[in-house]
Chains A and B, each alone.
Chain A
Amino acid sequence: MVKLFRFLKPYRVQIAFVVGLVFLQTLSELYLPTLMSDIVNTGIMRSDVDYIWKVGRLMLLVALGGTTCSIAAAFLSARTAMGFGKALRARIFAHVEKFSLHEFDKIGTPSLITRNTNDVTQVQMVTMVMMRMMISAPIMCIGGIIMALSKDRGLAWVLAVVLPVLAVIVAFVANRGLPLFRTIQEKIDRINLIVRENLEGIRVIRAFNRTDYERKRFHDANLDLTETSVRVNRLMALLMPVMMLIMNSTTVAIIWFGAVRIDRGTLEIGNMMAFFQYSMQIMMSLLMASMLFVMIPRAQASADRINEVLAVEPEINDPEMPRHETSDPAATDPAMAESESESESEGKINTKSDGERGSESESRSGSGSGGRSISTGLGADGEKGHVEFRDVTFRYHGAEEPALRDVSFCACPGEVVAIIGGTGSGKSTLVSLIPRFYDVGDGCVLVDGVDVREMTQEQLRAKIGFVPQKAVLFSGTVADNIRYGKEDATDDEIRRAAEIAQALDFISEMKDGFDSEIAQGGTNVSGGQRQRLAIARALVRRPEIYVFDDSFSALDFKTDARLRAALKKETAGATVLIVAQRVSTVMSADRIVVLDQGRVVGIGTHRDLLKTCEVYREIVSSQLPEEEIA
């Protein structure tokens, strides 16, 4: 928690003012009983009405001054504490935005969200309360003691006895009570767990007729919680009466021993009355402080979680000296590379007419597989959109087995490379290395001949149109969501992207067309529609490299077919990587990479692989009728 207070630094002056103001306010609060004792000692005892009025006016002024101070303090502390929360929140958010997926996996997305929201709120709230009370409690306590002593030293020993007793009781309750409250929380969690399991498994529970069993399970947990709660609350029931009793005993003691001292003539009656009030103020400030001790551990837990996030160093950082593909030494023949890449880059920046693209792709497909095998060997030839994996090994954080092992292949512009394999074979992992969501362990991933670690993430990702497995949409309009791929996209471009992605039909059917609102998480459109919008988002970017991570799964077959036909035209000049489950999706790819448990077990066309790759044959035979395989 203390660590986080560095975010309070800009507010040093304000905090100093708050301390000062609270100090003044406390003084005024402490001064009132003294004035009262003056009224009693001088005014009442000597029947001096004028004096009483005079002191009364002074008291009002003092009270007014105190109130003004505390309102000013409230203003400053509200701004300080909320400003602190704001700064902290912003810092976390900006920090987390730098995280790679690795860090997200490590802490967990829901947890990160909680830390950025609830935990900050929790810390901010405690800061607020601390500003309000943590400052005033000690001043009040010490000031009260000084004032009480100045009124009468002889009675001070009453406080010397009572205060430690009070402290011990508070400590005892904190010690015994807090763990008990934790126990209660655990039992509440247990009940929540059972309810959640019951809700999620309701079909299973009913199907297996286990309703009574579940009811008993809940009943036991409920009873357990109730018993503990009763016990804890009964223990806590002691607290208030005991506190009251201690305070009241103090008054009784002050009366008795005060009487003794008055009898001896060493104490004035007004001072005794003031002494009462001081002792009350001291004890109140102690109680207030003790409540803070209840709050702080909880805020501490939040603060720890926040510190943990801030302490994480994002492991993927931009290189200090990013390399451009033009400076690639591999591009030995600049003239040749230029001619190739020029038309491509044009296509990326300005929208190139369809006809041109179409003819290009035709000439490409005409060159056949021979040309491709050459480019495989060449690696970086200056083409835009060239992707190469060189002996890539990758393991997830803390995983025993690498998710990918010695993966090597390459994909060239105009090619469609499909990646197939069972779940857990590393398909999605493989494609998420291209936009550098993760850094490889060994080997390297090259895009346009440059190691992805040597480019800025911005440069790299500008080349890629990524369509994830789980189509994520953001709140905003349909157009906003598509425009996410290219911020300056015109309405026409958006419309075209939607058309290719086969999304135009359902968008036009929506109430406001492209201006229809998408709910957070895209919950108001179907899975298939979400996927099509995610595809449109990638298309509008007109990137060099398309990555489809199992992105057609929620589409019905007709849309699927139409979409892929349209895509073929659109992506003709680009490099396309498709992760797929269905053999039918990958069959016509230029190259198929078969993964099994993180290893490449075959690369080739459908026909080649059927002959050479056992794993591929297995996958095919589970999906296709035999007569089709042959």
Chain B
Amino acid sequence: MSRDSVSRDGVSRDRMSGGPLAQQRPAGPALPGGFRPGRGGFGGGGHGFGRPVEKARDFKGTLKRLAIYLKPMWPRLAVVVLAAVASTALGVISPKVMGKAITNLGRTFGMRLIGLPAGVDFRYIGHIVLWLAGLYIASSLFNYVMQYTMAGVAQKTVFAMRRDMNDKLARLPLRFFDGRTHGEIMSRMTNDIDNISMTLQQSLGQLITSFVGIIGAIIMMFTISWLLTLICLLTLPLSFFVTATIARLSQRNFAAQQMELGLLNGHVEEMYTGHKIVKAFGHEGKAIDQFSQINERLYNAAWRAQFISGIIFPLMNFMNNIGYVLICVIGGIMVTKRRIELGDITAFIQYQRMFTMPIAQTANIVNILQSTVASAERVFELLDEPEEIPDTAAAATIASPRGEVKFQNVRFSYKKGVPLIENLNMQVRPGQTIAIVGPTGAGKTTLVNLLMRFYEIDGGSITIDGVDIRDLKRGELRRLFGMVLQDTWLFNGTIRDNIAYGREGATDEEIVRAARAAQADHFIRALPDGYNTILNEEASNISQGERQLLTIARAFLADPAILILDEATSSVDTRTEIYIQKAMAELMKGRTSFVIAHRLSTIRNAESILVMNNGSIIETGTHGQLLAKGSLYADLYNSQFAKAHVDDQAV
């Protein structure tokens, strides 16, 4: 179940942010970098024009750290930059060259027009055509080199980031994981990394080519005619103004749309998850009314947002056309005045496009960069989390563990200032059973956390066979334990692999033996593929009880000195439960066991009982002692196991 919600979390953020907002990228005839197959472009990409962008808190610092990741690849990056510059520069030269051909043809045409006999100078034209072909081919080639190289750079960079994040997760203390949702961590490893990869792959090159293109085009224009250039540049401030205004407007509307969409999604999620209740209380109509209200508000916000972002392209196109007309008219007049040549007009028309398109996209590129840096910041944030205390160098070892556990004055708290366990003293001799009892949610996993050193104790010590657990390597310590929890964790793989998880390098024979001991062999063999049955993602192809048997088998295989067991079998049918009981009893033989107990027999036979409530251990003692005391344990025992006197008064 938690898997479901987690995967939804992970996906929905991506989809939602990309979904309705991604089509704002102007779809004009922008030559460089217009086509983003798969994601991006017009698709459901993460970057969209006009949507609210999360900003990084420390833009510069994060950028610097990002640069550190790119550093090992600087030779390749240099290639990328050089190729981008070369490709764009060559591209920038070609309109002028082409203009020469037009000028020449125009001259011929003009002479014909006034009756002079003139033929086209095919040698000259041929020359230019060859030049042009050469320029275009070289430009495309460099462009290819750039993108080809960038593919390697981008992917290797995010590879390293992903690797570092995963390594980091392995070193983070449990405290970190318990403190946040899986979706939150997943989102950093998927959406944020994806975002960075996308930007590196596509936007970085685009940034360089746009920049070089604008500069190059302006320079070339100046070499042709400074007057015409200035006239063209006149449209620039106007373009900036329009872009900025609309960007601001649409951001506001997109924020509204996003909010309503969030509300609507929340409502749908709530009504669908609570469908049973909605039905039971006959509130379908109310649910629909509420939905309609939000839906109407969403519609109003959405069409405004879409409209405003939708007019940016027509407006930019209009600016473009004004420039176009100006060039045609003023350029035309200048040609008649012999100030410029005819070909210069065609060249100008192309140059003008070359620098207005990137400018129209400036806002977009800025957004992309901002959201990328924000993503990178989240990634680095995770990489900066404080790690577990490293294992001591000269770690002790326990050669043949007996399973003697001692708690001495142990103090512990999850939150500073809210002590949970104070001064816990307890001695467990090898082979003894400790029952942990308490109502649901009493924090019975705390003990597991401390024993396995998932959390560090605040004071006192826990020793195993006389060795302080903090002097052991974590790996060494955990090897001493076997764990069978109610939350049966199985992974996507064969049953064999899942059992073999208990010990690296286990033979098939050992695996089968463990399964047999865990009463799991017969059901495994009954499956179509036996031990090679692949458990699907939710492991829904075997029952809950069977899953538990597999985890018991895993513990058998690990053959630990100390066991931590959760007896709860609430979601298991009676027959399987009997198997589980048997298997657990078998497993506990001769091992020190900490049992989260639900069965009377276990509790009665335990050498010591820990009674927990609200996260802390409130009583310890044997069954008899605790009953005699007549406090919480006695109440608990009476309510759950004895013929409860309260029941006679109740229902």
In the complex formed, the residue of A with least CB distance to B133 is: A252
How far does the Cβ of A443 sit from chain B's closest Cβ, in whole Å?
A: 22
Query: How far, in Å, is A597 (CB) from chain B's closest CB?
Result: 8
A124, A256, A424, A582: the one within 8 Å of B573 (CB): A424
- Using a Cβ cutoff of 8 Å, how many contacts connect chains A and B? 544
Task: Check: A265 CB closer than 8 A to any chain B CB.
Answer: yes
B63 touches A (CB below 8 Å):
no
- A50 and B197 CA atoms in complex are apart in Å by 55
CB-CB under 8 A for A93 and B288, given A248-B94, A526-B441, A622-B599: yes
Say whether B151 contacts A234, CB under 8 Å: yes
A493-511 vs B, CB cutoff 8 Å, 1 = contact: the mask equals: 0000000000000000000
B328 A207 Cβ-Cβ under 8 A: no
**B108 part of interface (Cβ distance < 8 Å):** yes
Given A89-B295, A208-B502, A527-B441, decide whether A244 and B139 contact each other with a Cβ distance below 8 A.
Answer: yes
Are B573 and A425 in touch, CB under 8 angstroms?
yes
The A contact surface, by secondary structure, is helix
| Contact status A196-B332, CB under 8 Å | no
Quick check: B452 and A52 within 8 Å, CB to CB? no
A 176-231 contacts with B by CB, 8 A: 177-178, 181, 184, 188, 191-193, 195-204, 206-211, 213-215, 218-219, 222-223, 225-226, 229-230
Interface residue? A564 (CB, 8 A): yes
Docked complex Cα distance between A222 and B165 (Å): 12
In Å, the complex CA distance between A423 and B572 comes to: 5
Report whether A240 and B20 are in contact in the complex, using a CB–CB cutoff of 8 Å.
Answer: no
Q: Is the CB of B6 within 8 A of A625?
A: no
* Besides the known contacts A32-B325, A82-B302, A581-B570, 10 further A-B residue pairs in the complex with CB atoms under 8 A apart: A44-B106, A67-B318, A83-B303, A113-B265, A219-B166, A226-B156, A229-B197, A263-B108, A468-B276, A625-B642
* B78 contacts the other chain (CB 8 A): no
Interface size on A, residues (CB 8 A): 198
- Contact B639–A561 (Cβ < 8 Å): yes
- Please indicate the chain A residues that have their CB under 8 angstroms from the CB of B271 in the complex: 93, 97
Contact string against B for A residues 93-115, beta-carbon threshold 8 Å, 1 for contact and 0 otherwise: 11011111100100001101110
- Find out whether the CB atom of A557 lies under 8 angstroms from the CB atom of B162: no
Q: How large is the interface on B (under 10, 10 to 19, 20 to 34, 35 or more residues)?
A: 35 or more
Inter-subunit contact A520/B270 (CB<8 Å): yes
Contacts of A558 in B (CB 8 A): 635, 639
Q: Would you list 15 pairs from A and B whose C-beta atoms are within 8 A, ordered by A residue?
A: A43-B332, A52-B332, A109-B273, A125-B23, A178-B38, A192-B186, A193-B492, A195-B185, A195-B190, A204-B483, A213-B504, A226-B156, A236-B37, A576-B651, A581-B570
Q: Are B642 and A263 in contact (CB under 8 A)?
A: no
Q: Which residues of chain A come closer than 8 Å to B335, judged between CB atoms?
A: 44
Residue numbers in A under 8 Å from B640 (CB-CB): 557, 582, 584, 623
A36 CA / B323 CA spacing, docked (Å)? 13
Q: In the assembly, what is the distance between CA of A294 and CA of B310, in Å?
A: 21
Task: Say yes or no for B211: interface residue by CB 8 A criterion.
Answer: no
**Across the interface, do A556 and B155 meet the contact criterion of CB distance under 8 Å?**
no
User: A256 contacts B129, CB within 8 Å?
Assistant: yes
* Known contacts A262-B108, A295-B42, A435-B280; A423/B573 CB under 8 A: yes
Q: Which of A193, A244, A292, A520 has the most CB of B within 10 A?
A: A244
Partner of B650, one of A128, A564, A624: A564
Q: Tell me if B622 counts as interface (CB < 8 A to partner A).
A: no
- Given A75-B307, A97-B278: A90 in contact with B292 (beta carbons within 8 A): yes
Instruction: Report the bound CA distance from A457 to B283 in whole Å.
Output: 11
- Chain A nearest Cβ from B618, distance in angstroms: 13
- The answer to whether A588 and B651 touch (CB under 8 A), given A43-B336, A202-B174, A625-B641, is yes
> What residues of A have a CB within 8 angstroms of the CB of B194 in the complex?
188
- B303: chain A residues within 8 A (beta carbon): 78-79, 81-83
Q: How far is the CA of A75 from the CA of B311 in the complex (A)?
A: 8
Q: How far does the alpha carbon of A597 sit from the alpha carbon of B574 in the complex, in Å?
A: 9
Contact in complex: B642, A40 (CB < 8 Å): no
Q: Among B345, B600, B644, which residue has the most Cβ atoms of chain A within 10 A?
A: B644
The answer to whether A472 has its CB under 8 Å from any CB of chain B is yes
Q: Are B650 and A588 in contact (CB under 8 A)?
A: yes
Given contacts A90-B292, A195-B186, A475-B266, contact A291 B42 (CB under 8 A): yes
Assembled-state Cα–Cα distance A206/B287 (Å): 45
Establish whether residues B287 and A97, one from each chain, have CB atoms under 8 Å apart when the complex forms.
yes
Q: Is B52 among interface residues, defined by CB-CB distance under 8 A?
A: no
Which residues of B have CB within 8 Å of A195?
166, 169, 185-186, 189-190
| Chain A positions 357 through 390: 1 when the CB is less than 8 Å from some CB of chain B, otherwise 0 | 0000000000000000000000000000000000
Q: Within 8 Å of chain B (Cβ to Cβ): is A60?
A: yes
- Could you tell me if B492 and A197 are in contact, using CB atoms closer than 8 angstroms? yes
Interface-centre pick from B194, B264, B481, B489 (highest chain A CB count, 10 A): B489
Which residue of chain A lies nearest to B571 when distances are taken between CB atoms in the complex? Answer: A423
A378-B635 Cα distance, complex, nearest whole Å: 42
